[in-house]
Amino acid sequence: MRRLLAIILVCALIAGIGVGCKAKAGVVNLGGIFPMTGASATFGTSSKQGVAMAVEEFNTAGGATVGGVATTINYINEDDAGDPAVGASAAHKLIDQDKVIGIIGAVMSKVTLAVAPIAQDAGVPEISPTSTNEAVTLVGDYIFRACFIDPFQGKVMANYAYNTLKVKTAAVLYDNGNDYPKGLAEAFKASFESLGGKIVAYEAFTDEATTIDYKAQLTTIKAAKPEFLYLPNYYGGAALQLKQAREMGLNVPAGGGDGWDSPELVTIGGAAVEGGVFSNHFSKDDKSPKVQDFVAKYTTKYGAAPDALAALAYDAAGLFLDAFKTAGSIKGSDIRDAMKNTTFSGIGGAYKFDANRNPIKAAVILQIKNGQQTFLMTVNP
Amino acid sequence: MGQFLQQLINGIQIGSIYALIALGYTMVYGIVRLINFAHADIFMFGAYMGFFLAPVMAKVFGGAFIPTIIAAMLITGLLGFIMEKLAYRPLRYKSRLSALITALGVSIFLENFCAMDFVLFGVHFVFGPTYRKFPDLIVAKNIPIPGNLGLNISNVLLLDVGVSVILMVLLFWFVNKTLIGKQMRAVAFDKPTASLMGINIDVVISTAFIVGPALAGAGGILYGTTYGMLASPFLGIWPGLKAFIAAVLGGIGNIPGAVLGAYIMGISEAFATSVNSNLGYGMAFAILIGILLIRPSGLLGKFMPEKV
């Protein structure tokens, strides 16, 4: 009798665990970790709104079918305050208490790097919309991202310069004290040369924050007679470099990366930055119907136009939910496999993951025209 | 050849700005044997004064450059005077190390004080931390040089060199021909004896702390005009450091030496960067160390053994 009771209890326990895993029938939790407070709170707000919109649309469209049961998503947003430690405890909470099937987040690479090992150990897929540090997805095979990594932008600009502008020679001036410009510069050089172009000058300076005079480097560059000038630095440095280049009579087209994305580029650079082009993740002026549709819906819902963070978060959530639907399972490994093989088409272009779970997708090229950023074209890798 | 000359021109331009700062270091050192680390921040202050005053000056006088540079020089001169009165004078006969630490303290104070938000008559005077567009005091124009060397000289460069040369000539006249200038040289040579001869040391020291900072203020305006951007209240640190090294290189305490050192500094920086931009400043500093190994007291400095 006691043995029978024990067997019954064990059975009940196993069944209980099974029920626990499924949570409420027809509804599963999805977690988000974003900086809702602190210095980068606007990043968090945009990202959360992007994810929430994607979840809402997914639920309205009927959700996914898991084991024959229609299943919708309950979105739980957590604040990481831009702090890796806070992000890590948010990840524990989402995984242990809320039993989320996946995590969207975080924004900053340093927070994502703290969250990723926890998600990886628990076998919960995580996708970061905007963490560009290469190490993020190298944590493990459950970790993805929706944005391109830094070196990719160099490749995009090399393609644009060589194939669209038809230039054969280029010069690079970059900050050798910072991984971001350095990565872009190296990637630009490698891609431009492999396309058949020639880098005629590859000049560096140390620390954009303390350097103000670039005339010595620009003199060397000018003497090498490049047809294109690549300045993968932040907006302040790029504006000064262009200003001094134009003053010296170096009037070739110039380009940069998403570090140029600030109105101050024009404030400081004035006429010198006019006509400059740079790569970015997303442009609300992209004329493709998908982007315009998203911009309209987002603007109606939240009363402001979406920025790149909102767009990437929307895509990251959309990509995850699409994989969830394809997998038809709440098991982390099934969703992960579906994500690996995804061919999701988002507003940032068509997504496909490489071996390190970095997306291979298009970038947009923006141009400064009359002091405004204008959408020029989409460049596919 | 064209490139060589162009780098020389680049070096002379930046050297002119270093020279205006270096003069202040060397004058103060010559007279009170104090390395005034806050001098770099006075330069920064001058640049920001230009940023705030230029629109006002343009309205009042029509033209902006000359009134702005004069106003900035007056303000930085006053700042130097106050600084000496409050921070350095009480420590004049104390250990030289205390004065040095005070100078560092004044420097850090000025940097952080300027990061505050000041409100005057309802107008906000905020120095940083965002990039500021310096008003265009003159419209930059490129003056092509005839010939096939491909040289470029801008009117800004001519202005930089012209203004610093004018100010330096005025300074040499002031130090060599005026009575107070002669007193300054006497105090620099031998303070106790000068005092015994009836020279008012306080007046002489105050003068040095007005003239030096005024020159730095002029340097700040030239800096703003040349680069068109002010980054933060910490922008003085690097130019200040280089100007200080220039003063040491030329022989600290020696006025022509500071000018010579500043031009050598600017030119060697431009050439070192053109040879290898990754080494850049590193190479420029290596050259300076080399010069100091051969002439420890600087190019024009006198080697003075301690008298026992």
Question: Does residue B280 belong to the interface with chain A, where contact is any CB pair within 8 Å?
Answer: yes
**Can you give the length of chain A in residues?**
381
Q: What are the pLDDT digits (tens) for A170-228?
A: 999 998 887 788 888 999 999 999 999 999 999 999 888 788 899 999 999 999 999 99
Interface predicted TM-score (ipTM): 0.83
pLDDT at A91: 94
If we measure between CA atoms, which residue out of A155, A117, A184, A115 comes closest to residue A360?
Answer: A155
Residue B231 to residue A219, Cβ atoms within 8 A: no
Question: Does residue A216 belong to the interface with chain B, where contact is any CB pair within 8 Å?
Answer: yes
pLDDT category of residue A7 using cuts at 50, 70 and 90 = low
A247 to chain B: which residues are within 8 Å by CB?
140, 142, 152, 154, 156
Q: Which of residues 158-197 of B touch A (CB under 8 A)?
A: none
Averaged pLDDT, A132-154: 87
As a whole number of angstroms, the distance between CA A29 and CA A31 comes to 7
What pTM value is reported for the model?
Answer: 0.77
- Domains of chain A from N-terminus onward: 27-148+289-361 (3.40.50.2300), 151-280 (3.40.50.2300)
Percent of chain A beyond pLDDT 90? 49
Residue A220 to residue B274, Cβ atoms within 8 A: yes
A217 to chain B: which residues are within 8 Å by CB?
273-274, 277
Q: What are the pLDDT digits (tens) for A38-64?
A: 767 778 888 999 999 999 999 998 888
B277 closest CB neighbour out of A204, A243, A247: A204
Query: Taking CA A280 as the corner, what is the angle to CA A279 and CA A286, rounded to the nearest 5 degrees?
Result: 105
> Burial letters for B47-57: b for 16+ Cβ neighbours within 10 Å, e otherwise?
bbbbbbbbeeb
Q: Find where tokens 């969703």 sit.
A: A335
Question: Does residue B140 belong to the interface with chain A, where contact is any CB pair within 8 Å?
Answer: yes
Whether A337 has a pLDDT exceeding 70, the answer reads yes
Question: Does residue B206 belong to the interface with chain A, where contact is any CB pair within 8 Å?
Answer: no
Question: Does residue A203 belong to the interface with chain B, where contact is any CB pair within 8 Å?
Answer: yes
Question: Does residue A267 belong to the interface with chain B, where contact is any CB pair within 8 Å?
Answer: yes
A204 closest CB neighbour out of B3, B154, B278: B278
Report the gap between the CA of A221 and the closest CA in chain B (Å): 9
Mode of pairing for the β-strands spanning A372-379 and B117-120: unpaired
Q: Which helix (H) or strand (E) holds A261?
A: none
As a whole number of angstroms, the distance between CA A184 and CA A191 comes to 11
Residue B144 to residue A240, Cβ atoms within 8 A: no
Q: What burial class does residue A32 get, using C-beta atoms within 10 Å of its C-beta: 0-12 exposed, 13-18 middle, 19+ buried? A: buried
As a whole number of angstroms, the distance between CA B244 and CA A346 comes to 56
Cβ atoms of A239 and A264 within 8 Å: the answer is yes
Question: Does residue A354 belong to the interface with chain B, where contact is any CB pair within 8 Å?
Answer: no
Question: Does residue A247 belong to the interface with chain B, where contact is any CB pair within 8 Å?
Answer: yes
Residue A264 to residue B131, Cβ atoms within 8 A: yes
B142 closest CB neighbour out of A209, A213, A247: A247
Q: Which residue in A has a C-alpha nearest to residue B238's C-alpha? A: A210
Q: Which residue in B has a C-alpha nearest to residue A206's C-alpha? A: B278
> Which of B225, B273, B279 is the best substitution to test chain A (most A C-beta atoms within 10 A)?
B273
Report the gap between the CA of A203 and the closest CA in chain B (Å): 6
pLDDT at B305: 52
Q: What burial class does residue A300 get, using C-beta atoms within 10 Å of its C-beta: 0-12 exposed, 13-18 middle, 19+ buried? A: exposed
Q: Which residue in A has a C-alpha nearest to residue B236's C-alpha? A: A210
Cβ atoms of B222 and B163 within 8 Å: the answer is yes
As a whole number of angstroms, the distance between CA B250 and CA A48 comes to 60
Report which residue type is found at B114. C
Would you give per-residue pLDDT tens digits along chain B (308 residues)? 778 888 999 999 999 999 999 999 999 998 888 889 999 999 999 999 999 898 888 888 877 889 999 999 999 999 999 999 999 988 888 888 888 899 999 999 998 888 777 777 767 777 766 788 888 888 877 777 777 777 778 888 899 999 999 999 999 999 999 999 999 999 988 888 999 999 999 999 999 999 999 999 999 999 999 998 888 888 899 999 999 999 999 988 888 999 999 999 999 889 888 888 887 677 778 877 888 898 888 888 765 555 44
pLDDT at A14: 55
A213 to chain B: which residues are within 8 Å by CB?
10, 14, 227
Question: Does residue A252 belong to the interface with chain B, where contact is any CB pair within 8 Å?
Answer: no
How many Å from the N-terminal Cα to the C-terminal Cα in chain B?
54
Residue A212 to residue B229, Cβ atoms within 8 A: yes
Q: Which residue in B has a C-alpha nearest to residue A268's C-alpha? A: B133
User: Phi and psi of A295, rounded to 5°?
Assistant: -60, -45
Question: Does residue B256 belong to the interface with chain A, where contact is any CB pair within 8 Å?
Answer: no
A247 closest CB neighbour out of B150, B154, B271: B154
pLDDT at A267: 87
Whether A161 has a pLDDT exceeding 60, the answer reads yes
Whether A22 has a pLDDT exceeding 50, the answer reads no
Averaged pLDDT, A268-294: 88
A219 closest CB neighbour out of B6, B154, B281: B6
